[in-house]
Structure 1
Amino acid sequence: MTSRWMLLCLLAVSLPAAAQEEFPARFPAEQWWDDGWWETGRLEVPENHAVTTRWSAYASGEVEVPVLIARPEGGDRYPAVLFVHGRRGLDDLVQRHVRRLAARGFVVAAPDVFSGRFIEKLPIEHDYALEGDVEAGLDFLLALPDAGTRKACLYSHTRGGYMSLKVAVSRDRQHRDVACYVSYYPHLQDPNAPEPMQVYRYAPEADALEIPALIFIGENEQYQRRRSIETAVRALQDKGRPVQLFIYPGVGRGFDFRPPAVRTFADDLAAKDAVQRAARFIRLQLRE
């Protein structure tokens, strides 16, 4: 880091005044920052839509679960995706990811399952009742008039990856209502399992995942998470299951939502690449 900034200082001194004026004051951040991408998910790609959002709610037993619905503007129907948040909950940073996904041409339902049960942000223990709330969100999504597919894709990050896995496998929704599984650095272990299980094992439910899966992590992912993810992926691939793992260099956990104060160019590159890869993958799996 020190050598890089020394080089930038030397460039600033050695460049002629006219050349120096080409660089913004906050070089290099302003060279790559894009408000259109950060706020609304706009990319210079063919599948790029203006997004509209609305809030709704659905019942899960006696619980009412708030749900954010994001979709392209206009009256067309689009492939259905269920976005399952992680320990952060569905805060403003995560809601931006929902919009970026919808901008690729999907109807996205993002249940705020923590709010439905008055669970504070960043819980340590996992409430298994949340898995039923996520499953009810899948039924809600598929019943939307906006949804243009009979099946949906489960799309998640962190602990949402575990809840999505349980819905697909333990609740037997894969094949029947779920066509694919996409997750960013998923927690592929029961959060309530003891520490050795967190580090050296993955959730046994992963062995039963049969639908196509796409997983993203950064090379600087936490060791105990990266180990279980890579071990699970390797086990699935050995079984001949259609699972892919992408590892992005120079980034760690949270590259899809890290805020501007700490966000890096590498975070943005990884996030833009991942959402486009995920979009192509989902469209392929939901093609009917």
Structure 2
Amino acid sequence: MDQRIIDLYDEYTHRPLPRRVFLERLTAMVGSAALVPAILSQIEPNYALAAVVAPDDSRITTESVTFQGATGEVKGYVARPKAVDKAPSVIVIHENRGLNPHIEDVTRRFATEGFVALAPDLLSPLGGTPQDPDRARDMIGQLDAAKTVNDLNAAISYLMAYRYSSGKVGAVGFCWGGGMANQLALKASDLKAGVVYYGRSPDPALVTSALRTPLLLHYASLDQGVNGGVPAYEEALKKAGAKYTLHMYEGVNHAFNNDTSSERYNEAAAKLAWQRTVEFLKQNLV
């Protein structure tokens, strides 16, 4: 697919553009409204493809939970290995489309790797993630970032006390959630590991020697919307003496891990990043 189309879609999802404007610009770009449905089928998420690990997979147990956050009651989805009494824990922080079937599936994937995984619905203060992904995107923009980080800090406390948790907690965030994972690492002294998938960088001035959470940072070389902030962030991490590893995946787009969007998903990069993520979490949480 023409990279300009992917860049336009990223602008639509993150700026964000109204859908009407996005479709008008897409139609002008490809020259025909008749081509638009086929393009959308390749670039927009298809949650029917989300169940890599089925909810009833015999290796895991899943449940819906609630915990008390800074904004009130926060809903969440937990998946854990069935045969393990105590396991290290991971918070799975969703993209700007909320807690959807893809993120629930990623949560189950972590359970098959031996982790207790909690995906909080960070749109809970606004009534929870709606079925309409565009509405979820708009709702994300209404959240108070500081309060959201406090909700995530409450998720750490919840997992530290969870019956099946070993008490060590890490966090993995994707897209918008990657930015939240960065923010959480700066604020939460109890976070033992943080993994960022193509998330926006925090203000470099906020990165100090107080940062003690080891970080694993995954970026996509074609991600124009995020990569501009990476050099200053990395320089701040170096000056602070932070423990971090940064990987730039060449020739791939933002959201390369999301296998429900065929044109942005990159199987080789996703598998390598996942392998690195699991190894990093086990190194820091087990």
Q: Say whether the fold is shared (TM-score over 0.5).
A: yes
Per-residue CA deviation, residues 49-70 of structure 1 (Å, 9 max, x unaligned), is 9333211111225621111101
Deviation at 1:260, TM superposition (A): 4.9
Partner of 1:252: 253
- For residue 121 of structure 1, the aligned residue among 136, 140, 154 is 136
The equivalent residue for 2:88 is: 79
**1:234 corresponds to which residue?**
235
Q: CA deviation at 1:258?
A: 4.1
- For 1:98, the equivalent position in structure 2 comes to 107
Rounded to whole Å, the distance in 1 between the matches of 2:168 and 2:84 is 20
Match of 2:185 in 1: 168
Equivalents in 1 of 2:170, 2:94: separation in Å?
14
Does 2:194 correspond to 1:146? Answer: no
- Against the structure 1 CA distance between its residues 76 and 83, is the aligned structure 2 distance closer, same or farther, given a 3 Å change threshold? same
Match of 1:187 in 2: 200
Distance 1:156 1:79, change over 3 A: same
SS in 2 for 1:209: coil
TM-superposed CA distance for 1:38, in Å, is: 5.7
Shift of 1:166: 3.2
Letter in 2 for 1:184: Y
Given that residues 252 and 264 in structure 2 are in contact (C-alpha distance below 8 angstroms), is that contact kept between their aligned partners in structure 1? no
SS at match of 2:207: helix
8 Å CA contact 2:171, 2:193 repeated in 1: yes
Q: Is the 8 A contact 1:166 1:205 kept in 2?
A: no
Matched, 1:60 2:61: no
> Structure 1's 60 and 284: CA in aligned 2 closer, same or farther, altered over 3 A?
same
| Matched position secondary structure for 1:257 | coil
Cα offsets for 1:140-185 (capped at 9, x unmatched): 111111112x321121122223333333333xx22xx211111101
| Structure 1 residues 83 and 107: CA distance shift in structure 2, 3 A | same
Match of 2:275 in 1: 276
1:178 equivalent in structure 2: 191
The one-character-per-residue Cα deviations of 1:258-285 (angstroms, maximum 9, x if unpaired) are 4254355xx1211111111111111111
Partner of 2:149: 131
Check 1:205–1:161 CA distance in 2 against 1; reply closer, same or farther (3 A cut): farther
> How far 1:36 moved relative to its partner?
11
Q: Percent identity?
A: 27
CA contact (8 A) 2:103 2:119 kept: no
| 1:57 and 1:64 in contact (8 A); partners too | yes
The whole-number CA distance in structure 2 between the counterparts of 1:271 and 1:262 is 13
Greater share of helix: 2
Shift in CA distance, 89/68, structure 1 to aligned 2, threshold 3 Å: same
Deviation of the 1:125 alpha carbon = 4.7
* Distance apart, 1:37 and its partner CA: 9.5
2:116 matched to which residue of 1?
107
Number of residues paired by the alignment? 228
* C-alpha separation in 2, matches of 1:115 and 1:104: 27
**Structure 1 ranges of 4+ moved more than 4 A:** 35-38
So what's the TM-score if we normalise by structure 2? 0.71
Paired residue type of 2:253: G
Q: For residue 138 of structure 1, give the secondary structure of its aligned residue in structure 2.
A: helix
Q: 8 Å contact 1:97–1:256 — kept in the other structure?
A: no
Higher alpha-carbon deviation: 236-245 or 277-286: 236-245
Secondary structure at the aligned position of 2:219 is classed as strand
Structure possessing the higher radius of gyration over alpha carbons: 1
Q: With the length of structure 1 as denominator, give the TM-score of the two structures.
A: 0.70
Counterpart of 1:113 in 2: which secondary structure?
coil
Does residue 39 (structure 1) correspond to residue 64 (structure 2)? The answer is: no
- Contact 1:101–1:275 (8 Å) recurs in 2: no
Contact between 1:72 and 1:102, CA under 8 Å: does it hold in 2?
Answer: yes
The separation in 2 between residues aligned to 1:217 and 1:268, in whole angstroms, is: 15
